[in-house]
Structure 1
Amino acid sequence: MIETAGDTLAVQQAAGSKVSSVRAVGTRAVLAELAGTGEVLALQALLLEQPLPGQLDVLAAAQTVLVTADSPVAARRIAARLLQLDLTAPVHRDGGLVVIDTVYDGEDLAEVGELTGLGSDGVIAAHTGQVWTVAFAGFAPGFGYMVGENQALEVPRRSSPRTAVPAGSVALAGNYSAVYPRRSPGGWQLIGRTGAKMWDLDREQPALAAPGQRVQFRAVRATVTLAAKQPAHTPAPEVTSGLRIVSPGLQSLIQDLGRFGHSGLGVSAAGALDRASLRRANRLVGNAPSAAAVETVAGGLTVQAVGDQVLAVTGAPAELTIETPGGDDSGPAERTVPMATPFALLDGETLAIGAPHSGFRSYLAVRGGVDTPPVLGSRSTDTMSGIGPAPLAAGQHLAAGGEAESGVVGHPELQPDFPYAGVTVLDVVPGPRADWFDADALASFCSQDWDVKPQSNRVGMRLQGTPLQRTRQGELASEGTVAGAVQVPPEGLPVLFLADHPITGGYPVIAVVVDSQLDRAAQVPIGGKIRFRWVPDEITAAAAAPEHATPEQEASN
């Protein structure tokens, strides 16, 4: 049983509570550092209640709050304003007390009892005897990091993470408690289980316990999980205008420009990796820039027209072959069409996209856009969280929608050069944790060519090269991050985050690719080479800046 009681959450900090420092995260986001969880909650509540000019999104973490802006100018202004905010005034947010029925029979309950000295019964009493507040989300949609009223249940993560933790597992790690919203790997200590559905896209608010809300666990002997009401089976509506997938190739996904403003729920933006190519394809067929299209990797996609269609293919250049069914005795006829040019695909004709001559990702737009139900305001597929349409499969039908903005199609366009042979150079600015590395490591980061490993995907590009050495020991508390961030795990091999990246990370970010070059990064193939280049004067300016800059100094940078 889950109860939600109307209530108001008041957040108030001790006198003199302020943002201690602000660090740039790329060119459109800033990271506010605070003394502890209380201050994090206060700043998060304040920014949600009174957004700053240009503020797009707010993401709280263990000791930081990431604020994303709509422009570099707005980001600089937000940085200056954050240092001036007074967090001592109470901030009231409409909240609610979410009561979660829990069976305390977790595999690690006895061990947690020994670690805390409370015993199993004492752990249950301590867990149910306090109100928890969801400080921030991460790891997976619906996974809320909850802080309690005391530290009686502080325990370390397991030394060896489990490969699969059941959905509904109630767990502890550090000073946090959480409920796993779905089956996934995890290293937290399991103390119980619940039938509560922590993440449900059919609800108006998908997260049962969102950041800022309060939670109380209630011990029960058994949980009852109500089976979802199964709707009567109705066949999918027949697609009378659109495309049939003959072959999806290596991986073909539906993508638009992404879903924004949901990072607080643990949901990344996703969306097309090469945004310029998506916009170009939509422009050519007369669609709105954000209309959904098909993103395909390394060629191999073949589609058949259902009704007469207008299409365009942009991105990685490849041979586009159209096959027209033959008449009674004649065989099929073939013709080719150019890239970045609108063309007709008549009913029954098939289009095959060959292997790219350069680059990695191509975008197929159909006039009207791909019509699929939006999820959290977007039709994009998030491969990490599983939100959005499933990868395309042979035999699947895609309906054309009503996203056409113009009665005419566009003129053929020129495309930029795409990576193939040689090295792709990406401009970067110093990351918020560049100070975890000395001058030699920063120089090594930009003086060598990094190979893109086969394990790379839409979540991130894993790079191979000479490992980078940190100058600081220990681990970084989880903090918000952005697409383009270059994290450095302990082994020293960087990972460049792409659109489906986790919204928080615990490894230091040495640099951030400038936003305008993420499209170029998306076209680097597996096995390709990347070289990073500091944006002129940015690394010098960052090194010269004081650790705790004044608002005037921040505003002038």
Structure 2
Amino acid sequence: MRFLPVNIDALLVELETLEQVMALTDALQYKKDVWNINEIIPAARTVLVRYNSIIMDGNKLAQYIAQLDVSSGQLRAGELVTIPVSYNGEDLGFVAEYLGISVADVISRHTSNEYQVAFCGFAPGFAYMVAKDIQLNVPRRQSPRVRIPAGSVALAGEFSSVYPQASPGGWQLIGVTNVKVWNIYRDEPALFKPGTRVNFIDVSKTATKYSLPQSKKVTPPVEQQVQPQDIEILATGIQTLLQDNGRIGQAELGISESGAMDKAALHSANRILGNPTNEAVLEITQGGFKARINSAMLIAVTGASCEIKVTTISGESYFAHMYQPIQLEEGDIVHLGNVQYGVRSYVAVRGGLQIQPILASCSFDTLAQVGPNPLKVGQTLAIKNSQTFNALSLNETPVISYPCKDDVVELNIMFGPRTDWFTQQAIQQLTSQLWQVTPASNRIGLRLLGEIPLEREKQQELPSEGTCMGAIQIPANGQPVLFLNDHPLTGGYPVIAAVCNYHLDLAGQIPVNAKIKFNPIGVFKEFEGSHVNHV
């Protein structure tokens, strides 16, 4: 085992085989509460462990994990799901030719073995399945497809999977199924979880009777439900989303945390109004938001600095202050002007908005497309009918200094987990040169541009492994991508370092064209207990 740093509250355990990954994942499930582990993200050869760093020390946790027996290579067997497949995939002929067998042999091998889900990642509900002695190991396509239809059955490396929704991808397509493996409105959206056993059957040779979990209750989308019209949206600006603290602990479904990009601003907005700090708010990108108020209410605006203009029903206009409660009356129109500093502003309503959570959160994940949809012009929102209120907080102030496009923003970073994949010159360049935020940046990540791209020392392909918020991933072009709240759960490019947790709110408020200076708080160092042999 190797124990590599990921962030202040996370480490990466590197193992030799997928079987060891499965065994360690299973063993850690029994220790989560005892060892203060928040989340476990298994991948092809690694397990990313997020823990409560206030209670648990990283070196101590590594020592505990090093004592676990991972020699069994077994994952607890889950329920059996049988998937009917029409074997007509575009790459079926290539797979047969690559393996030196017939198309019929490919189908026979795929249907005569029981698969088991090792881990989920890439997209919500996307399961990496393995089978013993399957002999269907094929490479990914050299050029990924722009769009692969939902239900496509595919192979890549030692894995098989079913694409849960239409998406880009580079796996070899061998067939298609009509089974919906991901449905956000089921009680359990993902058909596959780690441990699930899967049998594929050829529908051309078998009666279409197959095993699926019992039907789940379907909940209609929030916009289909009748609600009071307390707030009417007149303009959304570039993007207006509902956000709260996000979805922690949904890794087994292939979903990252998401949530408000500036959690300090989220919490301040709610404290100002006496709400619970996790109450859902509006996250508005670059201002331009406008709404008509249809009932008296108290709101607060925090985060990125912008003008707040209120126009009353009689035509009188006035400007309100940020980080203070704002009383609005029926007929008022509130307008947030262009952002002057920062990127995202937050609007909270006293009592909270009446929003139906999806997977225990009201946040919208722009990558996974999970959560209440982005707001649209003409949409209405309702306020919760609350009977009890907490006291207002009148002394809230911004926690961070919001940057403008001409600023240089310093972000503290921790090296790891793949710092040793890069040349010493690249490691120095990461922290010595400035990195400009490009217009391709969004909630998924900041795409950065530097004068000198970063070069790798190790050129081999990195098996997909878990990533964390703040990870600085280096793709083939050598220009960093700084992962933010809606980042993919797993990634196939090496991560050279990660922005420290306490600077993530600031990272989420850096505007396009601003520059970033990375400030290392230490050197790359593995945790104690690395290289312990337990196989």
Matches of 2:27 and 2:344, distance apart in 1: 41
- CA offset at residue 203 of structure 1? 2.7
Q: Equivalent residue for 2:93?
A: 110
CA deviation vs aligned residue, 1:366-409 (integer Å, no higher than 9, x gap): 11222211011000000001100111111111111267974332
1:28 equivalent to 2:16? Answer no
Residue 287 of structure 2, aligned match among 285, 299, 305: 299
Contact 1:62 1:478 survives alignment (8 Å) = yes
SS at match of 1:202: coil
Residue 497 of structure 1, aligned match among 475, 478, 483: 483
Q: RMSD of the TM alignment (CA)?
A: 2.5
Residue 401 of structure 2, aligned match among 417, 439, 443: 417
Q: Equivalent residue for 1:467?
A: 453
Matches of 1:229 and 1:97, distance apart in 2: 20
1:476 equivalent to 2:483? Answer no
Residue 514 of structure 1, aligned match among 477, 500, 505: 500
Q: Equivalent residue for 1:43?
A: 24
Q: Equivalent residue for 2:40?
A: 58
1:270 equivalent to 2:258? Answer yes
Q: Equivalent residue for 1:310?
A: 298
Q: Equivalent residue for 2:128?
A: 145
CA deviation vs aligned residue, 1:127-159 (integer Å, no higher than 9, x gap): 001111111111111110111112511111112
Residues 1:405 and 1:418: Cα distance change in structure 2 (over 3 Å): farther
Residues 1:236 and 1:204: Cα distance change in structure 2 (over 3 Å): closer
- CA offset at residue 410 of structure 1? 1.5
- CA offset at residue 93 of structure 1? 3.3
Residues 1:509 and 1:403: Cα distance change in structure 2 (over 3 Å): farther
SS at match of 1:440: helix
Residues 1:105 and 1:515: Cα distance change in structure 2 (over 3 Å): same
1:435 equivalent to 2:412? Answer no
Contact 2:113 2:134 survives alignment (8 Å) = no
Q: Equivalent residue for 2:267?
A: 279
**1:509 partner amino acid:** V
Residue 531 of structure 1, aligned match among 497, 517, 531: 517
Matches of 1:405 and 1:267, distance apart in 2: 34
Contact 1:247 1:303 survives alignment (8 Å) = yes
Q: Which has the larger displacement, 391-400 or 67-76?
A: 67-76
- CA offset at residue 117 of structure 1? 1.4
Contact 1:169 1:192 survives alignment (8 Å) = yes
Residues 1:382 and 1:405: Cα distance change in structure 2 (over 3 Å): farther
Residues 1:231 and 1:380: Cα distance change in structure 2 (over 3 Å): closer
CA deviation vs aligned residue, 1:45-83 (integer Å, no higher than 9, x gap): 111233242101111100001111122552513222111
CA deviation vs aligned residue, 1:299-358 (integer Å, no higher than 9, x gap): 1011121211110000111111000011xxxxx100111010011111110111111221
**1:203 partner amino acid:** R
- CA offset at residue 528 of structure 1? 1.1
- CA offset at residue 545 of structure 1? 7.0
- CA offset at residue 90 of structure 1? 8.4
Higher relative contact order (CA 8 A, sep 6+): 2
Q: Which has the larger displacement, 106-115 or 121-130?
A: 106-115
Write out aligned runs for 1:150-549 (5 A).
Answer: 150-221=133-204, 236-240=225-229, 242-326=230-314, 332-401=315-384, 406-415=389-398, 416-420=400-404, 421-465=406-450, 466-535=452-521, 538-539=522-523, 542-543=524-525, 548=530
**1:451 partner amino acid:** Q
Matches of 2:498 and 2:477, distance apart in 1: 19
Matches of 1:178 and 1:230, distance apart in 2: 25
Matches of 2:479 and 2:388, distance apart in 1: 45
**1:93 partner amino acid:** R
Contact 1:309 1:344 survives alignment (8 Å) = yes
Q: Equivalent residue for 1:12?
A: none
CA deviation vs aligned residue, 1:529-551 (integer Å, no higher than 9, x gap): 1110001xx11xx3587892679
Contact 2:185 2:219 survives alignment (8 Å) = no
- CA offset at residue 439 of structure 1? 2.3
Residues 1:259 and 1:546: Cα distance change in structure 2 (over 3 Å): closer
Q: Which runs of 5+ in 2 are unaligned?
A: none
Matches of 1:93 and 1:249, distance apart in 2: 48
Contact 2:310 2:332 survives alignment (8 Å) = yes
Residues 1:178 and 1:235: Cα distance change in structure 2 (over 3 Å): closer
Q: Which has the larger displacement, 214-223 or 108-117?
A: 214-223
Matches of 1:544 and 1:176, distance apart in 2: 30
SS at match of 2:138: coil
Contact 1:46 1:91 survives alignment (8 Å) = no
Count of paired positions: 522
SS at match of 2:81: strand
Give the TM-score, by structure 1 length. 0.89
Residues 1:547 and 1:46: Cα distance change in structure 2 (over 3 Å): closer
CA deviation vs aligned residue, 1:77-134 (integer Å, no higher than 9, x gap): 3222111112246877351111111111111111111111121000000000111111
Contact 1:194 1:223 survives alignment (8 Å) = no
CA deviation vs aligned residue, 1:178-232 (integer Å, no higher than 9, x gap): 0011111111111111111111223332211111111110111297999x99999
Matches of 1:441 and 1:302, distance apart in 2: 46
Matches of 1:106 and 1:389, distance apart in 2: 34
**Identity across matched positions, percent:** 42
Matches of 1:344 and 1:32, distance apart in 2: 52
- CA offset at residue 243 of structure 1? 1.6
